[in-house]
Chains A and B, each alone.
Chain A
Amino acid sequence: MAEPLSNPNLGIEDPFAGVDFSELEHSLRRPRTFMDFVLNGLVTLMTLSALVPLFSVVLMLLWRGGKRLGLALFTQLPPAPLETGGGFGNAIVGTVLMVLLAVLLSVPVGLMTAIYLAQAKQSKVAEVVRFAAKVLTGFPSILAGVFAYGAIVLTTGGFSALAGAVALSVLMLPTIVLTSEDALRMVPSRMKEASVGMGATSTQTVWMVLLPTAMPGILTGVMLAVARAAGETAPLIFTALFSNYWMWSHGEVQVLQPTASLAVLIYNFAGMPFKNQVELAWAAALVLVLFVLIANLIGQSLSNKQVQQG
């Protein structure tokens, strides 16, 4: 029951006198609150510790890769064991060329497939295509290499930039299909209606309305696919192999010869017992990560553009 107030001058009964207000106070001595506190701390710690590798990788790249950063890296060829100096100009050229070739192979196919999917929506074929694309996203990258080895290397009789590009394009295709379809579907249907209502053929609607409006989103997908492909190593090891020489001889670009790439150079040099090669591997990793990050950033900024527009 309510006790009389401690202040005798007032003489009114306090309606809350029976309530223990300390019950309402925040206290870590209560097990429930304590558990909450511990779990808060644990989750925070785990999340932050997940970022430690990221910072460690970036710092190591800057520290060990930055040492060798210079013009020579881009103009010289990989050194032989025990040689000093050298660079990986041919690997940069090889990576850029194979990625470009892969873009040329996968973008037309991927974009047209996405256009079909965006138009067909629920047809059985569209469902199967979407499923195939999703299966392909989870496809181990090395199996793309195995496929290109079987389909190109064995039939043309040798390792080549073309085989590497085919392997990369298989990996790029699903990303391009799925992101482009999303971008095309995000075009408001009233814009499509407006175009159709003016008497545009469906092809005219696609080219004059859908593609221009969805372009930022499509380019985001392409840039993400490029970023992924540029860093891929497994599908290149036994398709493009490696080469210590420039890609051109007799004034022609040799697409059907073994071709160097940054990723394979890192793999090869990382395991070598020579300091020079290991340093070059770090420098190549720095260049590769910069390349990948720039591609990612371009993609991100483009996707923000589409959000603003929608």
Chain B
Amino acid sequence: MSAHSSAQPGLPVLPGALFGSRQGEITQVPSPLQRAVDVTFRRLCHAFAWFTILLVTFIVLRIAMSAAPAMREQGWGFLTGRVWDANAGQFGILAQIWGTLYTSILALILGTAFGVAAAVFLSEGFLGSTIFGLLKYFGVHLHPWWGRLPDQIERILKELIELLAAIPSVVYGLWGIFVVIPLIRPLCHALHEHAGWIPLFSTDLSGPGVLPAVIVLAIMIMPTVTAISRDALVSVPVKLRMAAYGLGATRWESIFAVILPTASRGIAGGIVLAFGRALGETMALAMLVGNSNQINLSLFSPANTLAALLANNFPEAGPREVGLLMYAALVLLGITLVVNIMGAFILQRAAKNAAE
């Protein structure tokens, strides 16, 4: 059997063309236009992918370059100065750094507690089993409509918690001013009266302050913690749960001994990302924290954060102040970048572990 070269005798094989397309045949070699479009489109996609990388680099460089003159002028003293006074020509952001970290850490503690609790509640079928028990009590657990209720309600609850993240931060700020502050003021006043010796309660709440800001911030970051933790908890293999239950562990013994440790990497990643979000959050803090450059442990004293400083001063900043604000922005960028990269890294390793 010899390999024959000409399938169609008499058919001219054009040197440049691939195959001689015959007249009236549907099948055609790709037209020059199709080829040109293909190459152009692929190059364009590649170019835009590079553009995304360059954009991130450009953003960082742009901010760094704008900050450079101020950095040269102020040096490290900018980071340790406690006063921001344009009239006195004194600029320092230690108070803002302190406020940023203090509010974020407190909000993280609060948001993590509730967020992880909600994640456990959603992933371990608490609600479903309770409702199922109720339905069984009324004898309708096999009913075609009622029987679906546990799943439906769990889904709705999950979506409601996700909805918390959808509300714009400025609306939370508004709500904080007109609902949270009036609501907690009597309680704060009482705490200050009776337990003022504790540093946390050493001043009185006069309106905006750390506590209302922390409460609202915690509400804003909770959905992040819940969503990521729930994903991590759900992906714990069923066989591990079964092993724990099979040994006679109660539900909570298996949660603490097996499920939470297995999901800990994912939960940790979620917490770190939520921390990054809290550090960068602007509006709720600008509206609730009081914008006063103080370093104070008290929950009721006003404070300031880096993001709020930028939000308040940029609109009316002169050229000199813009440089200083860019310096502050660069500090904020550095802090959030480190935290976010850490979070992404932890989550990536958690995902890799889960895959193995």
Tell whether any CB of A sits under 8 Å from a CB of B in the complex: yes
Instruction: Report yes or no: B41 in contact with A140, Cβ–Cβ below 8 A.
Output: no
B45 engages A113 (CB within 8 Å):
yes
Task: Determine the distance from Cα of A57 to Cα of B172 in the docked complex, in whole angstroms.
Answer: 8
Q: How far is the CA of A293 from the CA of B162 in the complex (A)?
A: 12
- Check B56 against A136 for contact (C-beta < 8 Å): yes
Q: Is the pair A143, B280 in contact by a Cβ cutoff of 8 Å?
A: yes
Whether A165 is near chain B, meaning CB under 8 Å from some CB there, is no
Closest to A177 in B: B52
Say yes or no: A270-B174 contact (C-beta < 8 A), given A138-B273, A231-B169, A263-B168.
Answer: yes
Binds B, one of A35-43, A68-76, A82-90, A246-254: A35-43
- Contacts known (A140-B282, A146-B326); A288 close to B161, Cβ less than 8 A: no
Q: Is the CB of B344 within 8 A of A206?
A: no
Known contacts A43-B120, A140-B281, A142-B280, A292 near B168 by CB under 8 Å: yes
- Judge whether B164 is part of the interface by a CB distance below 8 angstroms: yes
Q: Give chain A residues whose Cβ lies under 8 Å from the Cβ of B258.
A: none
A93 CA / B184 CA spacing, docked (Å): 37
Chain A residue nearest to B337 (CB atoms) is: A135
The one of A40, A126, A149, A227 in contact with B166, judged by C-beta atoms closer than 8 angstroms, is A227
Check if B63 sits within 8 Å of A51, measured CB to CB: no
Contact B170 A113 (CB under 8 A): no
Which listed residue (B34, B48, B280) contacts A139, Cβ 8 A? B280
User: Which of A3-11, A212-220, A232-240 contacts its partner?
Assistant: A232-240
**B283→A267 contact, CB < 8 A:** yes
Contacts of B161 in A (CB 8 A): 50-51
Q: How far is the CB of B220 from the nearest CB of chain A, in Å?
A: 9
> For residues 123 through 146 of chain A, which have their beta carbon under 8 Å from a beta carbon of chain B?
125-126, 128-129, 131-136, 138-146
- For A288, the closest partner residue in chain B by CB is B168
A42 to B126, CA, bound (A): 12
Q: Are B173 and A267 in contact (CB-based, < 8 A)?
A: yes
A231 and B168 contacting across the interface, CB-CB below 8 Å: yes
- Is A56 on the interface with B (CB-CB < 8 A)? yes
Bound-complex Cα distance A262 to B37 (A): 42
Known: A46-B118, A60-B179, A139-B336. A170 touches B55 (CB 8 A): yes
| Beta-carbon contact of A289 and B45 below 8 Å | no
- B38 interface contact, C-beta 8 A: yes
> Which residues of the other chain, A, contact B63 by a CB distance below 8 angstroms?
143, 146-147, 150
CB-CB under 8 A from B341, the residues of chain A are 135
A-side contacts of B314, CB under 8 Å: 145-146, 149, 237-238
Residues of chain B with a CB closer than 8 A to A289's CB: 167-168, 171
Question: Does any Cβ of A come within 8 Å of B46's Cβ?
Answer: yes
Instruction: Tell me if A61 is interfacial: C-beta within 8 Å of chain B.
Output: yes
Interface string of B43-63 (1 = CB under 8 A from A): 011101111110110010011
Contact B50–A234 (Cβ < 8 Å): no
Contact A60 B280 (CB under 8 A): no
Please determine whether A233 and B166 come into contact, CB atoms closer than 8 angstroms.
no
On whether the beta carbons of B121 and A47 are closer than 8 Å, the reply is: yes
The reply to whether A296 and B166 form a contact with Cβ atoms under 8 Å apart is yes
Q: Which stretch from B89-97, B234-242, B249-257 is at the chain A interface?
A: B249-257
Given contacts A53-B219, A177-B52, A271-B287, contact A46 B62 (CB under 8 A): no
Interface check B128, CB cutoff 8 A: no
Q: Judge whether B34 and A204 touch: CB under 8 Å.
A: yes
B170 near A143: Cβ-Cβ < 8 Å: no
B50 touches A143 (CB 8 A): no
Q: Which of B149-179 contact A (CB under 8 A)?
A: 157, 159-161, 163-164, 166-175, 177-179
Stretch at the interface among A15-23, A96-104, A114-122, A188-196: A114-122
Complex contact B114–A138 (CB within 8 A): no
Q: Is A29 an interface residue (CB 8 A)?
A: no
Cβ of B340 and Cβ of A129 under 8 Å apart?
no
Contacts of B170 in A (CB 8 A): 231, 233, 263, 266-267, 270, 285, 288
B42 within 8 A of A: yes
CB contacts (< 8 Å) of B276 on chain A: these are 138
The residues of B that contact A172 with a CB separation of less than 8 Å are none
Residues of B within 8 A of A54 (CB): 160, 163-164, 167
Smallest Cβ distance from B193 to chain A, in angstroms?
26
A267 / chain B contacts, CB cutoff of 8 Å? 170, 173, 283, 286-287
| B117 and A293 contact, CB distance less than 8 A | no
Whether B169 lies near A206 (C-beta < 8 A) is: no
B165 to chain A, nearest CB (A): 9
Contacting residue for B307 out of A57, A135, A234, A278, CB 8 A = A234
Contact residues in B for A40 (Cβ distance below 8 Å): 126, 251-252
- Contact residue among A232, A238, A296 (Cβ-Cβ distance under 8 Å from B315): A238
A150 to B170, CA, bound (A): 24
Q: Which of A258-310 contact B (CB under 8 A)?
A: 263, 266-267, 270-271, 278, 281-282, 285, 288-289, 292-293, 296, 300
Chain B residues 246-290 with CB under 8 Å of chain A are: 250-253, 273, 276-277, 279-283, 286-287
Give complex CA distance A230, B167 in Å. Answer: 10
With A112-B48, A138-B273 as contacts: A237 and B62 at CB distance below 8 Å: no
A151: chain B residues within 8 A (beta carbon): 62
Instruction: Please report the C-alpha to C-alpha distance between residue A116 and residue B52 in the assembled complex, in whole angstroms.
Output: 11
Q: Mark B164-203, 1 if CB is under 8 A from A, else 0.
A: 1011111111110111000000000000000000000000
A241 within 8 A of B: yes
27 contacts between A and B (CB under 8 A): A40-B252, A50-B114, A50-B118, A50-B226, A53-B164, A54-B160, A57-B172, A109-B48, A113-B48, A119-B45, A129-B53, A134-B340, A138-B280, A140-B280, A143-B332, A146-B63, A149-B322, A201-B35, A203-B37, A206-B41, A231-B166, A234-B169, A267-B170, A270-B177, A288-B170, A289-B171, A293-B166
Known: A46-B121, A47-B117, A50-B114. 9 other contacts (CB 8 A): A46-B114, A47-B114, A54-B160, A116-B48, A146-B310, A199-B27, A285-B174, A289-B168, A296-B166
The 10 closest A-B pairs by CB, nearest first: A140-B280, A231-B168, A138-B340, A238-B314, A234-B282, A112-B48, A46-B117, A201-B38, A116-B45, A116-B49
